Amino acid sequence: MKQGVEKAWLRFDHCFMNLPVDAVEFLDVFVGLFNQCDPEVWTVGDEIKLPLIHVYGFTYEPTTEKALIYFTKRIGEAMNYPAFTEKDIISFHNIRDVSSKSHMYSTTFRLPKEVAFAHSDIYNFEK
C-alpha cells in the first residue's frame, strides 16, 4: 500500500519576502512556477487558492499614497504582469521610517493565477 503526504500539507499559504532592498526583484521566481504542479494541491473547494505574498521594501516616496503607486508598479514589472493594480493589494502599510526620507513598507497580495501559470521556459528543469 502506497502512502503519501496529504495534499493539504503540500500547499503553502504565505511567502514572506523580508529583504527590503531587493525583495521585489525576486518576485520573478513565481512566473510560471506552478505550471507543473498538481492542481488538486492548490484547489480549495471549487477554486485555486494560491499563496499570499508579503513583500517588504524601501522607498523615498514622501506619502503612503505615492509609496503605494510606486510598489504597485514595481511589483507588476517584477512579475511581468502589467495588469497588477492597487486593487490586487490586500494590505499595504508603513513598517517604519528608516530616516526622514527613507520608509519601509509591507505589501501583501495573493499570487495572481496569470503569473503562477504563465507560459515561461525560464524554469523548465527538464532541459
Specify the number of domains making up the chain.
Answer: 1
126 lies in a domain? no
> SS3 breakdown of the chain: % helix, strand, coil, rounded to 5?
30, 25, 45
Identify the domain containing residue 72 by its residue range.
9-36+49-115
This prediction has a pTM of 0.87
DSSP code for 41: H
124 lies in a domain? no
3 lies in a domain? no
Residue 9's pLDDT is what? Answer: 81
In three state form, how does the secondary structure of 6-74 look?
A: CHHHHCCCEEEECCCCCHHHHHHHHCCCCCCCCHHHHEECCEECCCEEEEEEEECCCCHHHHHHHHHHH
75 lies in a domain? yes
4 lies in a domain? no
User: Tens digit of pLDDT per residue, the chain (127 long)?
Assistant: 556 778 778 889 999 999 988 999 999 999 999 998 888 888 888 999 999 999 999 999 999 999 999 999 999 999 999 999 999 999 999 999 999 999 999 999 999 999 999 986 554 545 4
127 lies in a domain? no
64 lies in a domain? yes
